């Protein structure tokens, strides 16, 4: 009897992609499998967060002086553990660890990739049942295979990413990842515990109607950013408007929506945070890579995000990201001379 089966699991998809590269070692699929496994474990905890004693503060601050939630720690441990015990990752850096971690066992030292991640994005939303996520970024290491990874492996510009992705733990749980070949989304089927291809070859619409920004910060933005936002508030139909403002406060969810529907997301510099809030390595770079592969653009207001050479692991950057036409329309979305 012929069995009709049209849905690819994450594993099947990555292995099938691999067949297009005769010299591929399968390490990237292994790494994505490890990330998928950690995501499933985090998903279970997020879904029972109200029941388990896991809501609330962990009673400490992270390296960036932010309150750490219990679920931040849980997610950090799951992603760290899955990548450490897997055999496809030579080292990691996480928003929640002070410094990068080099995996010193033989299998890890022989791996060609390193991974940076924000284990739980939007964690201030956990206690009120709003979607949170995970963001990850994969680079080929600069140091030789067999050696222990070094700081420079983690300070590469975003343009060198091999893959990047995110998971939204939302009304359904979805894992989206990009390589240079494209962006694909996999929804978790809880009945079989597998991520299944649900959003093949995602393209960001060139034009959208949504803009996403924390308006509470409006008077702390530079004037040119304020003017840029004002245009979205007074646009008439002839000018492409009216626009809709949407801001969840988890960039994973905000950018996921804008990626599918078309729109622009921004976290500009403010008077009290002149470098912005978002972290270049854990938040801006992975999304800049994903959105660019999908046809959109990402800048820090002056320069393309992916071209910024990071000076330190936890550095922050302003971010403007989204649909290509919307980004190109204003100087803030284009690369300009300072
Ligand atoms: P994290 O939970 O990892 O610290 O990140 C939260 C980030 C981002 O996801 C979100 O877009 C932004 O912070 C929201 O910041 P505001 O509350 O300042 O708008
Ligand atoms: Mn975050
Ligand atoms: Mn976080």
Give pTM, 2 decimals: 0.94
Token pair of 60 as six digits: 């400490």
Q: Is 119 exposed, middle or buried (0-12, 13-18, 19+ CB in 10 A)?
A: buried
Q: Which residues make up the environment of ion ligand 3, defined by Cβ < 5 Å?
A: 95, 118, 120-121
The neighbouring-strand residues paired with 9 are 196
Look at residue 323 and give its three-state secondary structure: coil
CA of 317 to the centre of ligand 1 (A): 13
Give the contacts of 135 (CB within 8 A, at least 6 positions apart): 117, 118, 121, 164, 165, 166, 251, 252, 282, 283, 286, 287
Mutate which of 121, 211, 319 for ligand 1? The one with the most ligand atoms within 8 Å of its CB, which is 121
DSSP string, 67-92: EEEHHHHHHHHHHHHHHHHSSS-SEE
Q: What is the pLDDT along the chain (338 residues), one digit of tens a residue?
A: 555 567 899 999 999 888 888 788 889 999 999 999 999 999 998 887 666 565 667 667 767 766 667 889 999 999 999 999 999 999 999 999 999 999 999 999 999 999 999 999 998 888 888 999 999 999 999 999 999 999 999 999 999 999 999 999 988 999 999 999 999 999 999 999 999 999 999 999 999 999 999 999 999 999 999 999 998 988 788 777 889 999 999 999 999 999 999 999 999 999 999 999 999 999 999 999 999 999 999 999 999 999 999 999 999 999 999 999 999 998 888 887 65
CA distance 270 to 142: 35
CA distance 169 to 188: 10
CA distance 34 to 241: 43
Atom in ligand 1 nearest the alpha carbon of residue 64: 4
Query: What end-to-end distance do the CA atoms of the chain give, in Å?
Result: 66
CA of 123 to the centre of ligand 2 (A): 8
* Smallest CA separation from ligand 1 atom 7, residue: 122
Look at residue 146 and give its three-state secondary structure: coil
Give pLDDT, residue 4: 54
The structural domains of the chain, ordered by start, are: 10-199 (3.30.540.10), 210-337 (3.40.190.80)
Q: Which residues make up the environment of ion ligand 2, defined by Cβ < 5 Å?
A: 118, 121
Token pair of 226 as six digits: 């304020």
Look at residue 296 and give its three-state secondary structure: coil
Cis, bond preceding 242 (omega within 30 deg of 0): yes
Pocket of ligand 1 (CB under 6 A): 66, 95, 118, 121-123, 214, 249-251, 277
Strand bridging mode 319-322 / 91-94: unpaired
Mutate which of 253, 271, 278 for ligand 1? The one with the most ligand atoms within 8 Å of its CB, which is 278
CA distance 88 to 107: 8
CA of 76 to the centre of ligand 2 (A): 12
Q: Which residue has the tokens 């924390």?
A: 214
């Amino acid at each position: 009897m012929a069995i009709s089966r049209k849905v690819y699991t994450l594993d099947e998809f990555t292995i099938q992609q691999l067949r297009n590269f005769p010299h591929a070692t399968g390490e990237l699929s292994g790494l994505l499998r490890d990330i998928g496994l950690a995501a499933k474990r985090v998903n279970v905890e997020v879904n029972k967060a109200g029941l388990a004693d896991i809501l609330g503060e962990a009673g400490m601050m992270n390296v960036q002086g932010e309150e750490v939630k219990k679920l931040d720690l849980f997610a950090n441990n799951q992603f760290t553990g899955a990548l450490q015990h897997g055999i496809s990752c030579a080292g990691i850096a996480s928003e929640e660890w002070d410094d990068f971690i080099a995996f010193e066992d033989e299998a890890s030292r022989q791996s060609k990739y390193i991974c940076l991640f924000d284990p739980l994005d939007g964690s201030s939303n956990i206690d009120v049942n709003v979607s949170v996520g995970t963001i990850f970024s994969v680079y080929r290491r600069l140091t030789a295979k067999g050696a222990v990874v070094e700081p420079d492996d983690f300070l590469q510009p975003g343009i060198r990413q091999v893959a990047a992705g995110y998971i939204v733990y939302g009304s359904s749980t979805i894992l989206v990842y990009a390589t240079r070949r494209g962006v694909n989304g996999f929804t978790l089927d809880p009945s079989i515990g597998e991520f299944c291809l649900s959003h093949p070859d995602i393209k960001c619409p060139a034009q959208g109607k949504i803009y996403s920004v924390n308006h509470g910060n409006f008077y702390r933005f530079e004037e040119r950013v304020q003017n840029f936002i004002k245009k979205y508030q007074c646009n008439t139909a002839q000018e492409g408007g009216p626009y809709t403002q949407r801001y969840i406060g988890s960039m994973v969810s905000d950018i996921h929506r804008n990626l599918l529907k078309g729109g622009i997301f921004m976290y500009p510099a403010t008077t009290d945070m002149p470098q912005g809030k978002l972290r270049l390595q854990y938040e801006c770079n992975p999304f800049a890579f994903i959105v660019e592969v999908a046809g959109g653009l990402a800048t820090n207001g002056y320069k393309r995000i992916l071209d910024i050479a990071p000076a330190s692991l936890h550095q922050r950057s302003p971010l403007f990201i989204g649909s290509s036409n919307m980004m190109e329309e204003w100087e803030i979305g284009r690369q300009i001379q300072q």
